[in-house]
Structure 1
Amino acid sequence: MALSLLEKAQAWLFRAVATFFFTIFQFFRTTAASAKKKLPPVINPLLLQSATQLAKKIRRKEVSSVEVVQAYIDRTQEVNPFINAVVKDRFAAALQEAAQVDKLIEEETGGEEVLEDRLPFLGVPLSVKESFSLQGMPLTTGLMSRQGVVSSVDAPTVAHLKRAGAIPLGVTNTSELCMWFESHNHLYGITCNPYDLERIPGGSSGGQGSILAAAGAVIGVGSDIGGSIRMPCFFNGVFGHKTTPGVVSCENQYPPTSGRQGEYLSSGPMCRYAEDLLPMLKIMAGRNAHKLSLDTEVDLKKLRFFSIPHDGGSAYTYPVSKELLDIQRKVAERLEADLGVKVQEVCLPELRYSFQIWDTYMGLPDKEGKTPTAFAELMGEPGRPAWALWELLKRLVGKSNHTMPAIMLALLEMIQVTKPSSFIIQQKEELQRKLDEMLGTDGVLLYPSHPRVAPKHHHPLFRPFDFAYTGILNILGLPVTQCPLGLNEEGLPLGVQVVGGKLQDRLTLAVSLYLEKTFGGWRDPGAKESSSP
């Protein structure tokens, strides 16, 4: 009872303070009365096909790789001034590589099947999150002190996709040091949501989600330690998959993990079309692909379905909006009507502690007793650690090289309790046990992606813990596919997380194909607004 009262007091205090500062922020915010800018609609039909279909057309010589790559270059140049998603391109090199692909196809004597087996994404454009090493491209994650750092190698996931024939077009924006869910930093600036330029695209893979949604990319690579694939995919209405940890390599990314953080980080595919998720994952997993049995056919009618509508009333997160509760309920109804299954609604009270669980486990030492690298130390790289209070003072007069979320995180570190709570450890272990038992090898869970649709720029500062809806699933080590579910009345993407048991990634990927067919998948942000089906 005492703990419950304390939680209520914390929730009231936090929301009261957040509301106070939010009101001041709104009062002083410049609100010039001007018509909203809107992205131009997609015209080129090549931009409206999946990577799988594009690769097939390229192999069959129905279209050249140069034509496809040029189409995506043209679209990126058209939309990037609006959204600031691609922070460094390699267009000239990509066109040269596309010409080499076309020459290879002309000279190939083994037939289309040989090319498909050896180079499944031959000639298809690829975008890469800037936190991944891509040879010759910057590797800064928006940190001013790393300006000029250039990758000399490819991260394994990028190398796998390149060996499969994909052609990188450039790298996309992130939040500073990939630890916030708005993609904004002082090196590259702020990235916008294609559906509403006044709203965030999410983070830390926000540039990736934004350029995919704007049809400036068809497939991309992202990483996720607290929702960094799923939140951008949700806010931008595209598909993304957080893999079972330990299957896809997370090497050659910046910042590196420390402590036990490597157990919770996943690299995975992001794309506009659900059919690209599985072949991308198969390639990105490399030698570990067999662990996921991705070639095993999935019969949705034989799966067990569950739905959890919210976290049960956390002291830290805001309530899930009615429109997101409604769309998740509609998904359950369609599953029952179309497949003849029963979607069981369940309640797990331990989810109320999602943020505390994520925060606790992210700070745990590894098996050798090494604690995670302090965020302030990363902020100061390659020099001395940043002094959070000094950076806050500089920020107030516009002189800091760091964003407010980064400074806030460094400040929180200064007051963080070092000893983990045994109560929170117990809640995590009980939640883990219940979900592992519930999902098994044939269970699928529907869970909200976030309490609300894409918020306006900087508004997450007043609701910083809402990412707990995605973050908890990192700590639990479960695979999750983020699926778009149409647009709301304001023309903003709706969506849901589809969760599976460990190593059961193929189940959630199969559900994503069904949801794309049923709810329409990605929508062109430049087209006339439409609402959810």
Structure 2
Amino acid sequence: MTDLTKLTAAQTAERIARGENSAVEVAEAHLARIEAVDEKVHAFLHIDREGALAAARRVDEQRAAGEPLGPLAGVPLALKDIFTTEGVPTTVGSKILEGWVPPYDATVTRRLKEAGVVVLGKTNMDEFAMGSSTENSAYGPTANPWDLTRIPGGSGGGSSAALASFQAPLAIGTDTGGSIRQPAAVTGTVGVKPTYGGVSRYGMVAFSSSLDQGGPCARTVLDAALLHEVIAGHDPMDSTSIDAPVPAVVEAARGGDVRGLRVGVVREFSGEGYQAGVMQRFTESVELLRELGAEVVEISCPSFTKALAAYYLIAPSECSSNLARFDAMRYGLRVGDDGSRSAEDVTALTREAGFGAEVKRRVMLGTYALSSGYYDAYYGSAQKVRTLITRDFQRAFESVDVLVSPTTPTTAFPIGERADDPMAMYLADLCTIPSNLAGNAAMSLPCGLAPEDGLPVGLQIIAPAMADDRLYRVGAAVEAAFQSRWGHPLLEEAPVL
């Protein structure tokens, strides 16, 4: 591993801007790192070597011409394979889109390119973002760099693993029920779910449209803030995009201070099912916040106990609608079209061959929940619970500035351990789902290693909608204090691949 792959995104950008390293040199170092370790990790589905080097050369040419560079110009990034990328395959981890090359860029992709960010390639993910372990990818699982026998989280395990294995300093993920934060927690990295509508969903292949949200993944809070600022902002191509200024996330990340802040500890995020080491590290994080000058109070949000059930009615219902477009008639896989079958038969054969088991499970659940006679009992009731959860958040934020909890109930579990137990898999998102249902902002950052297994534990910080800057203010303070206590970033304790 070269020194260039160990740098933060902010440090890398500064070196490029000063001319200490060229963007091409940085890109080549990361491409070499991918070649050296990704056979073990399987973070990437596609490496765009030519595109990455061409983007890096443009940054070097801009600098040579004296043109101003953006704050992340020349910095490499791993892009979750759910964002369309012109001329580059986008599979969403599914066989049904194997080999599909989009003719346009997602808004997130376009903004990255305009900022001079160097996209190295597309990362592995649970098929259509349905999963908590990246085991549901049609192209095989991704491994956790801390322990190659364990999962890197999901659905964005490829992005988190790329960060933790130093294959990229930045990544993009999506969060429908925790798919940015949960992978961040189990790999010792930083992941942020922005306020719903804060980052455009245009060109992001839809799973559950009222829950899906793209966001930044990084190894430090400041790096996440810099990336957040690049990809966020109003987009007229997305009808759910918020037409308002982006919160001052970079300023907050540069000046982390929690003195005088009221922090709420969510009572419902503890108890049975939580690993002892996870709760130990979380308790230490709460004490650290007190030491830093925050006022800590316990908050009860009783409807949070119903969030998991509500989510697994709403998300499958929306997925059954969104995935109806994959009918073998317009794009993607096409099976059985030999002239002897009807269009309906071709569609059925294509979906049978192209969709994996978890996607089929959720489509069937959602179709049932939306069916005549069951809509009010299931989908309608889940939406009422969603309203109760939103109200619990509103009441909590009347008395505190942010909420905190463990990000996940356990550390990374072994690959295959929960493959045949969907309910056990779903419990990995127990703490993260409420923020998706309410649409507010949340972050996960490392708070230490669990004593039982030496694996990373994540601290979740939750802020009101459009108060994303609070995440970075608290996150930066906690990160600095922990790193001062440890004497180094947590990832320095990870085994070297």
Query: TM-score w.r.t. structure 1 length?
Result: 0.79
Q: 1 CA distance for matches of 2:251 and 2:20? A: 31
Read off the aligned partner of 1:362 and give its amino acid letter.
A
Matches within 5 A, 1:16-35: none
**Deviation digits for residues 293-313 of structure 1, max 9, x if unmatched?**
446656421321011254477
1:307 aligns with 2:307: no
Q: Structure 1 residues 415, 469: CA separation in 2 closer, same or farther (over 3 Å shift)? A: same
1:156 aligns with 2:107: yes
1:47 aligns with 2:10: no
- Residue 455 of structure 2 corresponds to 492
Select which of 360, 373, 380 maps to 2:321.
373
1:348 to partner: Cα distance: 2.2
1:79 aligns with 2:37: yes
1:292 aligns with 2:247: yes
- Residue 482 of structure 2 corresponds to 519
Q: Structure 1 residues 362, 404: CA separation in 2 closer, same or farther (over 3 Å shift)? A: closer
- Residue 237 of structure 2 corresponds to none
- Residue 291 of structure 2 corresponds to 337
- Residue 346 of structure 1 corresponds to 299
Read off the aligned partner of 1:504 and give its amino acid letter.
A
The 3-state SS of whatever aligns with 2:440 is coil
- Residue 178 of structure 1 corresponds to 129
**Deviation digits for residues 479-498 of structure 1, max 9, x if unmatched?**
00111112223231111211
1:128 to partner: Cα distance: 0.5
Read off the aligned partner of 1:138 and give its amino acid letter.
P
- Residue 30 of structure 1 corresponds to none
Q: Structure 1 residues 419, 527: CA separation in 2 closer, same or farther (over 3 Å shift)? A: same
**Deviation digits for residues 231-282 of structure 1, max 9, x if unmatched?**
111111110110001121011122x25xxx4332211100112111222111
1:168 to partner: Cα distance: 0.7
Read off the aligned partner of 1:465 and give its amino acid letter.
Y
Q: Structure 1 residues 299, 437: CA separation in 2 closer, same or farther (over 3 Å shift)? A: farther
Q: 2:187–2:456: 8 Å Cα contact kept in structure 1? A: yes
Q: 1:358–1:468: 8 Å Cα contact kept in structure 2? A: no
1:326 to partner: Cα distance: 1.3
- Residue 205 of structure 1 corresponds to 156
Q: 1 CA distance for matches of 2:496 and 2:86? A: 39
1:151 to partner: Cα distance: 1.9
Q: Structure 1 residues 97, 361: CA separation in 2 closer, same or farther (over 3 Å shift)? A: closer
The 3-state SS of whatever aligns with 1:276 is helix
**Structure 1: unaligned runs, 5 residues or longer:** 1-42, 366-370, 392-399
**Deviation digits for residues 102-123 of structure 1, max 9, x if unmatched?**
2321221x6xxx43xxx22111
The 3-state SS of whatever aligns with 1:459 is coil
1:48 to partner: Cα distance: 2.0
- Aligned CA RMSD, in angstroms, stands at 2.8
Select which of 272, 275, 279 maps to 1:321.
275
Q: 2:233–2:246: 8 Å Cα contact kept in structure 1? A: no
- Residue 343 of structure 2 corresponds to none
Select which of 82, 85, 104 maps to 2:62.
104
Select which of 221, 228, 232 maps to 2:179.
228
- Residue 465 of structure 2 corresponds to 502
1:479 aligns with 2:427: no
Q: 2:302–2:392: 8 Å Cα contact kept in structure 1? A: no
Q: 2 CA distance for matches of 1:62 and 1:246? A: 38
Read off the aligned partner of 1:100 and give its amino acid letter.
R
Q: 2 CA distance for matches of 1:67 and 1:433? A: 51
1:361 aligns with 2:314: yes
Q: Structure 1 residues 263, 145: CA separation in 2 closer, same or farther (over 3 Å shift)? A: closer
**Deviation digits for residues 282-335 of structure 1, max 9, x if unmatched?**
11113457142446656421321011254477xxxx611111111111111011
Q: 2 CA distance for matches of 1:448 and 1:279? A: 25
Q: 1 CA distance for matches of 2:209 and 2:219? A: 27
Aligned residues: percent identity? 26
Q: 2:170–2:219: 8 Å Cα contact kept in structure 1? A: yes
Q: Answer with 439-448 or 139-148: which moved more.
A: 439-448
Q: Structure 1 residues 300, 373: CA separation in 2 closer, same or farther (over 3 Å shift)? A: same
Q: 2 CA distance for matches of 1:289 and 1:215? A: 35
- Residue 438 of structure 1 corresponds to 396
Q: 2 CA distance for matches of 1:218 and 1:289? A: 29
Q: 2 CA distance for matches of 1:71 and 1:445? A: 39
Q: 1 CA distance for matches of 2:115 and 2:290? A: 38
Q: Structure 1 residues 45, 447: CA separation in 2 closer, same or farther (over 3 Å shift)? A: same
**Deviation digits for residues 153-210 of structure 1, max 9, x if unmatched?**
2211121121111111111001112111121356422111111111111111111111
1:216 aligns with 2:194: no
The 3-state SS of whatever aligns with 1:333 is helix
The 3-state SS of whatever aligns with 2:259 is helix
Query: TM-score w.r.t. structure 2 length?
Result: 0.84
Read off the aligned partner of 2:202 and give its amino acid letter.
E
The 3-state SS of whatever aligns with 2:245 is helix
1:410 to partner: Cα distance: 4.1
**Structure 2: unaligned runs, 5 residues or longer:** 235-242, 335-345, 484-488
Select which of 422, 426, 431 maps to 1:469.
431
Q: 2:198–2:232: 8 Å Cα contact kept in structure 1? A: yes
Q: 1 CA distance for matches of 2:61 and 2:251? A: 35
Select which of 220, 224, 231 maps to 1:273.
220
- Residue 394 of structure 1 corresponds to none
Q: 2:446–2:458: 8 Å Cα contact kept in structure 1? A: yes
Q: 2:216–2:224: 8 Å Cα contact kept in structure 1? A: yes
Q: 1 CA distance for matches of 2:399 and 2:21? A: 41
Q: 1:272–1:522: 8 Å Cα contact kept in structure 2? A: no
